[in-house]
Structure 1
Amino acid sequence: MAGETPRAQPPPLDPVPAPEGHPHHVLWRWRRNPLRRRTDRLHAWIALGLLLAVLAAAPAAMFAVGDAAHRHYRATAEQQARTRDHRPAVLVHDAPRHPEPGSAEAKRTRYPVEVRFTGPDGAARTGETDVEPGLPADSTVLVWVDAAGEITAPPLTGDQIRSRATGWAILAFLGVALTGLAAHGVTGMVLHRVNLARWDAAWAVTEPRWSRSS
């Protein structure tokens, strides 16, 4: 009907707040607003400084630690190659047989068996080494022997050196990143306590006036 007063409409809904992690939520400390405190701005600058520090220090630490580890393990491999010999050894007894002879698993399986060999000093020695399944007694295998005449692992290979150096480099990168995160967390807690202390001081001044006015 013409001239009829329109029905009242409900007020518009408040906008949905930005979720945690949203850029609007993450960057609020950088925007001017009446609720932003000096500690909020300081926290934002500290977070930015820590981020830049981690981005600069993590690759440098990764390279330095990885290079040092690579040189260490390469020197270790060279020392092992000088002091370890590949010597023949004879099985003292038969090696166990695999339940599935001829299978792919049997080709990869090794069993510890006692062997007899001659040490660097010429004396007869016995030890234990891993051999293929089913080898009969008196079979000859090659074992690595150290300067003390003990059966040991072969010298480190190039792949093992690179793998271990890479592992240390990754640990260095993670260490720098975790240190940055810890520093950010500690800074946040300290500034939060500063905010609480300032709020308590301000309330101690305001509360008496608030009580009298009520």
Structure 2
Amino acid sequence: MHGDSASRRLWRWRNNPLRRHDDLVEAWIVLAVYAGVALGGTVAGTVTAQAADQVFAQQRAERRSVRAVLVADAPKSTAPDVMGSVRWTAPDGSARTGPTLVAAGLPAGSRVVVWQDGRGRLVAAPPDATEAGLEAGVLGAGAAGATAGVVLGAGAVARWRLDQRRIARWGREWDLVEPKWGHRTG
């Protein structure tokens, strides 16, 4: 039974008088789609995940946490974080002031931790290694899925066009054969 099932799946590859050229073309399309999904998805997912992981590692290496002082009272809000103005010291020793998220209702003079890049600009905290790994994995899976979707879509379009060609060919053949039958119904 197993061999019978395999031979049914591979019938398009065998030489037989009923196999049409389009059957062989369709078999190659299906094989290319399977290979494209498996290989293309794997490569796209791996490359994307590695690139994202490198970006996150670079952010962890370049960004530094510094203590800052809240310049004015933070607005009171039902939201846990609000925009507040803080003052901090940049890596070059200059004093900087800028907006960042702080806890709602903090009084002026409160000390907060902010993150800065190598030029002293405020930036978001870098993801830790666990968060970065998870996000890189999600991005890689998304890239693999997108690649698989594109390959499956291209394969579906190719098979649809092949079907349209078969239908047109069958129509032309019917136009040649049908008049020879002589008797029309209807």
Same fold (TM over 0.5): yes
Q: Which runs of 5+ in 1 are unaligned?
A: 1-26, 100-105
Cα deviation, residue 166, structure 1: 0.9
Equivalent pairs counted in the alignment come to: 171
- Partner of residue 160, structure 1: 131
CA 1:77/1:29 → structure 2, altered by over 3 Å: closer, same or farther? same
Cα deviation, residue 28, structure 1: 10
Give the Cα separation in 2 of the matches to 1:91 and 1:201.
81
CA 1:157/1:49 → structure 2, altered by over 3 Å: closer, same or farther? same
CA 1:151/1:58 → structure 2, altered by over 3 Å: closer, same or farther? closer
- Partner of residue 173, structure 1: 144
Of the three residues 41, 45, 48, the one matched with 1:58 is 41
- Partner of residue 119, structure 2: 148
Q: What is the one-letter code of the residue matched to 2:172? A: A
Q: State the TM-score, normalizing by the size of structure 2.
A: 0.71
Residue 75 of structure 1 pairs with residue 50 of structure 2: no
Residue 136 of structure 1 pairs with residue 107 of structure 2: yes
- Partner of residue 76, structure 2: 97
The one-character-per-residue Cα deviations of 1:89-134 (angstroms, maximum 9, x if unpaired) are 22222122345xxxxxx7xx11111122233333332111222222
Residue 111 of structure 1 contacts residue 132 of structure 1 at CA under 8 Å; is this kept in 2?
yes
Aligned-pair identity (%): 33
Cα deviation, residue 148, structure 1: 2.8
Q: Which has the larger radius of gyration?
A: 1
Of the three residues 141, 153, 156, the one matched with 1:182 is 153
CA 1:207/1:48 → structure 2, altered by over 3 Å: closer, same or farther? closer
CA 1:159/1:124 → structure 2, altered by over 3 Å: closer, same or farther? same
Cα deviation, residue 184, structure 1: 2.5
The one-character-per-residue Cα deviations of 1:4-51 (angstroms, maximum 9, x if unpaired) are xxxxxxxxxxxxxxxxxxxxxxx89969xxxx8736744763465246
Residue 86 of structure 1 pairs with residue 87 of structure 2: no
Q: State the TM-score, normalizing by the size of structure 1.
A: 0.63
CA 1:65/1:39 → structure 2, altered by over 3 Å: closer, same or farther? same
Q: CA RMSD in A?
A: 3.3
Of the three residues 174, 177, 180, the one matched with 1:206 is 177
Cα deviation, residue 140, structure 1: 2.0
Give the Cα separation in 2 of the matches to 1:202 and 1:87.
80
The one-character-per-residue Cα deviations of 1:35-75 (angstroms, maximum 9, x if unpaired) are x8736744763465246413454335433432343234323
CA 1:69/1:119 → structure 2, altered by over 3 Å: closer, same or farther? closer
